[in-house]
Structure 1
Amino acid sequence: MKLGRISVPSPDGDQIRIVAVRPDEGRVIDLARAYALGRQAQYATPDAARRLAAAHFPSSMAAAIAAGSAFLDAAHWAVDQAADDASLPIDGLSWVAAVDPPVIRDGLTFPAHMKGFHDRVGGGLPNPQLFKTPGYFKGSTGVVYGHDEEIPYPSYSEYVDYELEMGLIVGAAGSNLTPDGARAHLFGVTIFNDFSARDVQGYEMAMSMGPQKCKDYAYGIGPWITTVDELPSTDGLRGVVRVNGEVWSETTAEGMIYTPEEMLAYVSINDRLQPGDLIGSGTLPNGSGLELDRRLSLGDVIELELEGVGVLRNRLSAEPDKAPWWPEPRPYPFGTPAN
């Protein structure tokens, strides 16, 4: 099943609805409405049917996933009962991020991307530690964007880049998992665009604190999630990057150092996976503009396609997004810095 979230107008303001997506049929199915109609057909009152539907299909995808198998069972039942009466045309919808993750962790596990990155920035070879334990950072959940939402171009950067990744969506809580056990904790896969301010990334990473403003201004998530029953393996999935309709690169999800199951298991060591968490696979080979020596501009439209999922499309803002303040440098108290 493909599951996404849309925003629809209501008398009380815009509401977020979870939908089952049928791209080949050109429609989505409002699951709460379909479920309520199905229950009314079984003699539930309209108010009772809506209460039941709201419990199964809240605005939060993470909260819905947290219900475990009851969520997907209810989704399939709703589609079977009243899909036609709860359908909307797929064109013209207002999408939001496919999931509202409690935590974003973004990995780095495709050696070909690592090598391409280091070749471009002149930073030598990738760190050997990445071949000993999976590497990842944590990103802000407050700046997630869905399909067709505009991405603000941060005014502090002159080099904004995209990154095509698989977004692994956690389906069940768990700690200290093994890779064999972690498979049952994987809900599905979406497209994750780890937008990066490359010029800022260089000096932030040199602080040995991990990325900050070079990453935490936008994360693209969508257009929807494909559940693992429809996408049993991520190995070998094909990807395409288009900018303003031009193909910039074609790629394949091959050669991961660590499998998705191993990544989930590693994250869970003395930590806790939560339903709806997103773990980025790391950028697919040639899945960033940096590797191609190509740069985005204000107003560009980026399309990231992933086999089995769909196309995540976003436009960069036409003008820089200016913040009202930026910190002034402070005196360096340790003599003359090395750099």
Structure 2
Amino acid sequence: MRLATYNYEGRTRCGVVAGGTVTPVHGDLLGLLRKGRLDAEPAGEPVPLSEVRLLAPYQPPTVRDFVAFEEHVEGVRRSVDGRAGVPDAWYDAPAFYFTNPYAVVGPHDDVPVPPGCRAFDFELEVAAVIGRAGRDLTPDAAREHIAGYLIMNDWSARDLQSREMQVNLGPAKGKDTATTLGPWLVTADELEPYRDADGFLRLALTVSVNGAEIGRDLLSNMGWPFEDLVAYASRGTWVRPGDVLGSGTCGNGGCLAELWGLRGRPDPPPLRPGDVVEIAVEGIGAIRNTVVAGVDPVPLPKARPRPRHRP
């Protein structure tokens, strides 16, 4: 089942997508996730999908973004901080950071360049959505807590990210302006036929800018399956319905920074206003966002030297 949030004739609804139509259902997607009932009753007649505007499936309470692709780490690390290789610690556990849930945008929304950014980038990811609360889960148990999957584009201001990570914090403002989720939630059972012998979802991933393909990979190249990511996220804490867990960016051109690091130059160039980024994931669908001009940053003074007064 595919569940979308959409606007039709001025009204925002949640509905089931099937056969080129969307049928409204009672409730909103986050509410359905929290109730554990995605099979909501129809609340009207189906309408053509071509006549609706797809919105972000829902506003998630939390968004964790992992870095689960070794090839991505190899390339982007050189681009962001100038170091080669993959840190030994990467292999120990699936690292993640919390990104901004207020920055979620829809599958066809315009995306502004972050204030002060001159090296704007996309990131091709897939995300799992939690459907049942749990903590200290095993990987086997974690599978039952995944309600479904959607496409995620973790837009990144690479110059801002590189600067803030020099103080061993972040990424923060480098990832703070937009995260695309969509085009809809595909329930986990729909993707089971794609699971390979090692337990990974073998989905083809592609990304293009202005119609030219930039990257192509397989989701099954992740270092850990999603069940491991959920189990790690739940270690010592709760995961709850609606939480989003991104895979991290795939390799082989899943973002521009990876290619910049490998080639030693900004080729392809950073995104500019007017560029159209399209991401397609086998078994899920596609999202398409246009980059637009952002606002100028509000100036802030540099930090003063520490006064070193004492009480």
Moved over 3 A (4+): none
SS at match of 2:167: coil
Once the two structures are superposed, what CA deviation does each residue of 1:257-288 show, in whole Å capped at 9, x if it has no partner? 22100110111111110101000001011210
- Partner of 1:29 in structure 2? 23
- Report the alpha carbon displacement of residue 320 of structure 1 after superposing the two structures with TM: 2.5
Which of 303, 306, 311 matches 1:330? Answer: 303
- Report the alpha carbon displacement of residue 21 of structure 1 after superposing the two structures with TM: 1.2
Looking at structure 1, the residues matched to 215 and 228 of structure 2 have their Cα atoms a distance apart, in angstroms, of 28
SS at match of 1:180: helix
- Partner of 2:35 in structure 1? 67
SS at match of 1:315: strand
- Report the alpha carbon displacement of residue 214 of structure 1 after superposing the two structures with TM: 0.5
> Quick one: structure 1 residues 27 and 201, their matched pair in 2 at CA, closer, same or farther if it must change by over 3 Å?
same
Q: 1:307 aligned to 2:285?
A: no
> Quick one: structure 1 residues 128 and 332, their matched pair in 2 at CA, closer, same or farther if it must change by over 3 Å?
farther
- Partner of 1:4 in structure 2? 4
- Report the alpha carbon displacement of residue 16 of structure 1 after superposing the two structures with TM: 2.6
Q: Do the aligned residues in 2 keep the contact of 1:31 with 1:86 (CA within 8 Å)?
A: no
SS at match of 1:105: strand
- Report the alpha carbon displacement of residue 9 of structure 1 after superposing the two structures with TM: 4.5
- Report the alpha carbon displacement of residue 94 of structure 1 after superposing the two structures with TM: 1.9
- Partner of 1:170 in structure 2? 130
Looking at structure 1, the residues matched to 173 and 255 of structure 2 have their Cα atoms a distance apart, in angstroms, of 18
Q: Do the aligned residues in 1 keep the contact of 2:191 with 2:201 (CA within 8 Å)?
A: no
Q: Tell me which amino acid in the other structure corresponds to 1:308.
A: G
Q: Do the aligned residues in 1 keep the contact of 2:210 with 2:276 (CA within 8 Å)?
A: yes
Looking at structure 2, the residues matched to 206 and 18 of structure 1 have their Cα atoms a distance apart, in angstroms, of 43
- Partner of 1:98 in structure 2? 57
- Report the alpha carbon displacement of residue 249 of structure 1 after superposing the two structures with TM: 1.9
- Partner of 1:190 in structure 2? 150
Aligned residues: 292
- Partner of 1:320 in structure 2? 294
Q: Do the aligned residues in 2 keep the contact of 1:18 with 1:31 (CA within 8 Å)?
A: yes
Query: 1:290-305, aligned counterparts within 5 Å?
Result: 290-292=257-259, 293-294=267-268, 295-305=270-280
- Partner of 1:146 in structure 2? 106
Root-mean-square deviation (Å): 1.9
Once the two structures are superposed, what CA deviation does each residue of 1:38-85 show, in whole Å capped at 9, x if it has no partner? xxxxxxxxxxxxxxxxxxx13xx22210111xx22325xx3xxx8xx6
Q: Tell me which amino acid in the other structure corresponds to 2:102.
A: G
Q: 1:204 aligned to 2:164?
A: yes
- Partner of 1:18 in structure 2? 14
Looking at structure 2, the residues matched to 235 and 119 of structure 1 have their Cα atoms a distance apart, in angstroms, of 28
Looking at structure 2, the residues matched to 86 and 254 of structure 1 have their Cα atoms a distance apart, in angstroms, of 38
- TM-score, scaled relative to structure 2: 0.89
- Report the alpha carbon displacement of residue 244 of structure 1 after superposing the two structures with TM: 1.3
Q: 1:266 aligned to 2:260?
A: no
Looking at structure 2, the residues matched to 20 and 168 of structure 1 have their Cα atoms a distance apart, in angstroms, of 19
SS at match of 1:254: helix
- Partner of 2:96 in structure 1? 136
SS at match of 1:287: coil
- TM-score, scaled relative to structure 1: 0.82
| Structure with larger Rg | 1
- Report the alpha carbon displacement of residue 152 of structure 1 after superposing the two structures with TM: 1.3
SS at match of 1:118: helix
Query: 1:33-48, aligned counterparts within 5 Å?
Result: none
Q: Do the aligned residues in 2 keep the contact of 1:162 with 1:195 (CA within 8 Å)?
A: yes
Looking at structure 1, the residues matched to 39 and 77 of structure 2 have their Cα atoms a distance apart, in angstroms, of 46
Q: Tell me which amino acid in the other structure corresponds to 1:30.
A: P
Looking at structure 1, the residues matched to 222 and 205 of structure 2 have their Cα atoms a distance apart, in angstroms, of 15
Looking at structure 2, the residues matched to 145 and 297 of structure 1 have their Cα atoms a distance apart, in angstroms, of 18
Q: Tell me which amino acid in the other structure corresponds to 2:255.
A: S
Query: 1:274-289, aligned counterparts within 5 Å?
Result: 274-285=240-251, 286-289=253-256
- Partner of 1:217 in structure 2? 177
Looking at structure 1, the residues matched to 294 and 228 of structure 2 have their Cα atoms a distance apart, in angstroms, of 39
Looking at structure 2, the residues matched to 327 and 213 of structure 1 have their Cα atoms a distance apart, in angstroms, of 14
